[in-house]
Amino acid sequence: MTAPLREALPALRAGGGKAFVPYVTAGLAGVDAALLRGLEAAGADAIEVGIPFSDPVMDGPVIQEASRRALEAGATPARALALVREAGLGIPVAVMTYLNPVLAYGERRFLDDATAAGVSGAIVPDLPVDEAGGWVERCRGAGVAAVFLAAPNSSPTRLVAVASASEGFVYCVSTYGVTGAREDLAASARSVVDAVRPLTDTPLLVGVGVSTPEQAREACAFADGVVVGTAIVEPLLRGRPDETLERARAFRAATG
Amino acid sequence: MTAMAAEVSRPDARGRFGAFGGRYVPEVLVPALDELETAWRELRTDPGFVGELDAVLRDVVGRPTPLSYAPRLSERLGYRIWLKREDLAHTGAHKINNTVGQVLLARRLGKHRIIAETGAGQHGVATATACAMFGLPCAVYMGEEDTVRQAVNVDRMHLLGAEVVPVKTGQRTLKDAINEAMRDWAANVRDTHYVLGSVVGPHPFPWIVRDLQRVIGDEARAQYAERVGGLPDAVVACVGGGSNSIGMFTAFVDAGVRLIGVEAGGTGRGAEHCATLSKGTPGVLHGGRTYLLQDEHGQVLPTHSVSAGLDYPAVGPEHAWLKETGRAEYTSATDEQAVRGFMALSREEGILPALEPAHAIGWLLERPLPKGSSVAVCLSGRGDKDLDTVRTWLAERGEP
Ligand SMILES: Cc1ncc(COP(=O)(O)O)c(C=O)c1O
């Protein structure tokens, strides 16, 4: 049986490994079971499967466009979960979505169905930790790791709350702004990781704006891994899943 | 404005109006919202700040705005109709009450850049105006569709020195402009203040904008008491995000007055409307829990209204709460009723209203209230921006 997110990434960290976690938008053309298996074969340690939302305020143009196309093609949470089940991966899967689709589905039912499909983590970027009391409890009850975001400007008190509520990993937002390509890995990436490090043993992954294998390598010098979205999704918008997999291999090679 | 010191106990410490409101935003925005909340808690009753704002409202905005009796319309409908004339405020709508307050607030916070979203362009113009007054750079996000139907206001913003950023995502209207403004804010939150234009979004915005707009109702209540004595039977306002209506309602919430919000009923066909409170369900959009127009999967639905300022699939959380508690009633008027309201006010009272408050007038034309009722209507803005829309509407239907 696949190890759940809350065990897999900490075990990887304990062994000195670095995590490479690609993100793809469910329902986008080219995002099928074969692609997820391809990402696993390319060496991903876990996969973030995005459930698209009509108003993704945390996302830049590439993932916005991916979400739009996916919704136009009829993407729903149920179909995203069916995809995860069909892929039957040997690595953990976390879903990433916004709060409203989860509320519409029903939080408890969503977590039950997600678990049944083989999902073991959930990231909801518009649900900050202080609004998430009930959610954290329900995630624990369902055996789903709730992942929260730590930002460059989060106060020390908030970081404590984020670190203690997060399971699986803490999503360290590298910079101000939304998902998308950046020329350089922001210096703030390191300061977020440094600030959270003393607060928890949970792995710290850098995400938002990790666009090249080189930046991933830099981030892995101080973090426990990276989440890569835009760079992985962008070739899919051009109908090139082969390039997505090629990029995944390059990120894997760079993260070691 | 001075009456602002009189406490209204909502929202609670966590930014809730009952089950509505809250703060559902990416982590990177939370510190800025914390900072805003702390500042507002202090400034809203700070004599220096309140004095500064009162002076601007009086000397620049032109407050108090008149409460005008509408004699011909009153006689025809069998009501006594009073119009709270926000169309006579500087820049032509109530939006300026909020923007001067928030720009003063931004200055206190040491923010050097202002961003805003706009639908009808009135909030964008009002923000650009406040920024010109205080010498701050200003970027206004506006759905591309709205830049076409409210082109006059795009010109005004440009002339006032603001940058207008056309938003080409989604339906290219107000909702998408807010998405884009939130993304800008997340990237530039350290030096930028986001002047949100209605009582929507994450806490503390619904609270700040309510406090800044309640001057409308505070004045109207005092003016009514002085001119007529007592209270009107009903207070009526159009509801987009809900700022002019909350501004009008707040002074009357504790009084035995019917509070009636008129949403945009669109074409009256199927889903072509934005009557969020009348037809929506609770959900989370733009940082707050409130009523939304959404499908069964929680995807926000496309909307339609002849007026850009009402064309929005959510509504302020305080309205959701007023609806849920039954304290306020929400109804809607179609595009056609709005144009009829526009024409009625133009021909019978000599006032060209914006299409947004024309919904409130259009609803009244159906005589929905008991005969003889006295009604205070918030005339939230003037109609210059809508002349093309109305002209086209009439021409398409062969009306003079
Ligand atoms: C004149 C006028 N009235 C009303 C509105 C709707 O906004 P709200 O419901 O926040 O008052 C607008 C928005 O642009 C407006 O310009």
Identify the CATH number of the domain in which residue A214 sits: 3.20.20.70
What CA–CA distance (Å, rounded) separates B155 from B151?
6
Contact call for residues A209 and A175 (beta carbons, < 8 A): yes
- Residues 6 or more apart from B313 whose CB is under 8 A from it? B175, B274, B276, B280, B285, B292, B293, B294, B300, B301, B302, B303
Instruction: Provide the pLDDT for residue A182.
Output: 83
Q: pLDDT grade, residue B335 (50/70/90)?
A: very high
pLDDT at A256 over 90: no
Instruction: Provide the pLDDT for residue B336.
Output: 97
Q: pLDDT grade, residue B400 (50/70/90)?
A: confident
Find the mean pLDDT for residues A122-148: 97
Distance (Å) from the alpha carbon of B282 to chain A's nearest alpha carbon: 9
User: Does the residue A6 lie in any domain?
Assistant: no
Find the mean pLDDT for residues A56-64: 95
User: Does the residue A54 lie in any domain?
Assistant: yes
User: Does the residue A10 lie in any domain?
Assistant: no
Question: What percent of chain A has pLDDT above 90?
Answer: 94
Residue B241 in contact with ligand 1 by CB distance below 6 A: yes
State how many domains chain A has.
1
User: Does the residue A166 lie in any domain?
Assistant: yes
Q: pLDDT grade, residue A209 (50/70/90)?
A: confident
User: Does the residue A179 lie in any domain?
Assistant: yes
* Residue A188: CB atoms within 10 Å: 17
pLDDT in tens, B309-321: 999 999 999 999 9
Task: Give the Å distance between the CA of B240 and the centre of ligand 1.
Answer: 6
What CA–CA distance (Å, rounded) separates B328 from B217?
15
Distance (Å) from the alpha carbon of B215 to chain A's nearest alpha carbon: 32
Cα radius of gyration (chain B) = 19
Minimal-distance CA residue of chain A relative to B32: A153
pLDDT in tens, A178-202: 888 888 888 899 999 999 999 999 9
pLDDT at B7 over 60: no
User: Does the residue A27 lie in any domain?
Assistant: yes
Instruction: Provide the pLDDT for residue B1.
Output: 41
Q: Fill in the DSSP letter of residue B301.
A: P
User: Does the residue A7 lie in any domain?
Assistant: no
Which of B23, B187, B300 faces A128 most closely, judged by CB atoms? B23
Residue B244 in contact with ligand 1 by CB distance below 6 A: yes
pLDDT in tens, B223-271: 999 999 999 999 999 999 999 999 999 999 999 999 999 999 999 999 9
Instruction: Provide the pLDDT for residue A117.
Output: 98
Residue A230 sits in which domain range?
18-250
* Residue-wise DSSP of B9-33: --S-TTSEETTEE-----GGGHHHH
What CA–CA distance (Å, rounded) separates B22 from B6?
23
